[in-house]
Amino acid sequence: MIHKSIFFVVIGFVLALSTGFCRADIVTLKDGTTHEGTVVSENRAQVVLEIVIANIKTTKTFPRYKVRSIEYKPVEGAEEQEEDTPVVPEVDDEREQNQPDESASPDEAEDDHQSAEDRLAAIRDRELYIVIPIEGTIGVESNADGLKKALTQARRRKAKHIVFEIDSGGGYVYDAVESLKVLKEFDDDFEYHALVVEGAISAASIYVAASDHIWVRADARVGGAVAYSSDTSTGAAEVDAKMNSIWAADIAARAQSKGHPPEVFRAMVEPGAEVWFDEDGKVYPSRPSTRGAQQIDNSSTILTIRADQMIEIGMAKLFEGEVSELGEMLEIANWAEIRGLGARMMLAAGRERVKMQEQYDEAIVVFRDALEDFEVNDPRTFEDYTFYIQPNGSRYPDGDAMRKWRERSIKAIRNCDDMLAALVRIADVNKRAKRAGALHLEIVPDDLGHEAYTNISEARAWLASHRDDMTKP
């Protein structure tokens, strides 16, 4: 998955314009397209890229919310500028920077001192917020572990607001349930804001339900949160009624606690639910008697609600600006971001889960390959051995039979070792996955893995003891 690395870009990074500081930059959009040139300016609203077409320089401007990442690539031999200091400075640094000039007149020095004091007061009075991107698969790229780490760091840094920038097609319901628990744990510390960029689908909808304020882009959608379970025998996806009922109750209760209509979120989960609203925007679970009632969802569908519908019932507000402008909507004067914190925590947690998935997949491949080889090499499965018949009726293998037996036994023992090593790696991933809450990675349960380990160990021990002493199996 591609992540929104723009959160890591230092906005104050200065592009060198001299001949010794040429750069070839790549802007990647959320639709997957890339554009190469030189970034000549960027801010929270837009990115301006200078490109050359047929030896003619021109510029392209991209809205920031459409940009997935910016990759700065120095040309060979070019020097790199150092990154600016963090956006949120320490008070001590600010105080040092704003010391009055000793050479100034007394009146000027007093004005400078007052100005410094005012600036320090403004810093102390900031309403700090962090942005946490909710992208990719819930439970993988965006997950409860990363959420908890981000909120813990935000609390330590005395942030008051959390902005969830959501563009996800959903994922694992179990992770959504765990994320709900984390959000409840920090409920008294923060004010949650959900900004739905395009979709908060399925499990991603919990971030909308759990937010104090909901903001939507014009094309945003929320819903389709029914819980599914996979039938391993047929591969069909079927609704788990019990899980679905619990999930519907959890998300509806959370929405209601935040002042959002629970009927809407319940209809996102339960197929039989309906949603109606009257001329005043009041929501009902069945058709009201008031005139002009409209239906959003019927009993035969799972609700995915559009931005215009959310706005019409007063559930959300349209917001097409940048997150830095959200403070104006909230009438917060000193709205200030701790940049990169939320993205960094979520990205690290997502990478760890992707890494565990890769390690798990590799171990599974090794195990299956070793098992297939073992079935080929197991000396007990062959019938091409020649035996001498002794006068007493006993059988004794000839030299060729002993050679075949020994060679096959050695190969089979190595196959057992590979399988055992793979099972150890699987068990290790399981342990780390449980600790991180990545329950979807436990494809081989611990009890099944232990049973397999025991059986393979016994087979290896038998082969090792009979490697040079062939007996009829």
Q: Express each pLDDT in 205-218 by its tens digit.
A: 999 999 999 999 99
Q: Are 213 and 257 in contact (CB under 8 A)?
A: no
- Tell me, what DSSP letter sits at residue 14? P
Check residue 469 and give its pLDDT. 80
| pLDDT value at 233 more than 60 | no
Check residue 88 and give its pLDDT. 41
Cβ within 8 Å of residue 199, ≥6 positions away: 166, 167, 168, 169, 220, 221, 222
Dump pLDDT digits (tens) for 143-197.
999 999 999 999 999 999 999 999 999 988 889 989 999 999 999 999 999 999 9
Per DSSP, the three-state class of 277 is strand
Q: Are 306 and 296 in contact (CB under 8 A)?
A: no
| pLDDT value at 239 more than 90 | no
Check residue 118 and give its pLDDT. 58
| pLDDT value at 1 more than 50 | no
Dump pLDDT digits (tens) for 266-306.
999 888 889 999 888 899 999 988 878 899 888 888 899 99
Check residue 97 and give its pLDDT. 36
Dump pLDDT digits (tens) for 309-337.
999 999 999 999 999 999 999 999 899 99
Q: What is the percentage of the chain residues whose pLDDT exceeds 70?
A: 77
Dump pLDDT digits (tens) for 14-53.
222 233 334 478 888 877 788 888 887 776 667 888 776 5
Check residue 185 and give its pLDDT. 96
Predicted model pTM: 0.65
**Distance, CA of 457 to CA of 437 (rounded, Å):** 30
* Mean pLDDT within 106-116: 54
**Distance, CA of 213 to CA of 304 (rounded, Å):** 19
* Mean pLDDT within 445-466: 92
CATH H superfamily, domain 126-339:
2-enoyl-CoA Hydratase; Chain A, domain 1 (3.90.226.10)
Extents of the domains making up the chain: 5-74, 91-121, 126-339, 349-466
Hey, what CATH topology would domain 5-74 get? SH3 type barrels. (2.30.30)
**Distance, CA of 425 to CA of 361 (rounded, Å):** 10
**Distance, CA of 2 to CA of 389 (rounded, Å):** 69
Cβ within 8 Å of residue 195, ≥6 positions away: 163, 164, 165, 166, 215, 216, 217, 319, 323, 326
Instruction: Pick the range with the lowest mean pLDDT from 77-91, 242-256, 315-329, 375-389.
Output: 77-91
Check residue 206 and give its pLDDT. 95
Q: Are 136 and 349 in contact (CB under 8 A)?
A: no
Mean pLDDT, the chain, whole residue set: 80
- Tell me, what DSSP letter sits at residue 98? T
Pairing of strands 161-171, 213-216: unpaired
Check residue 184 and give its pLDDT. 96
Check residue 322 and give its pLDDT. 93
Backbone angles phi, psi at 227, to 5 degrees: -85, 130
CA proximity to 246, closest of 238, 254, 235, 258? 254
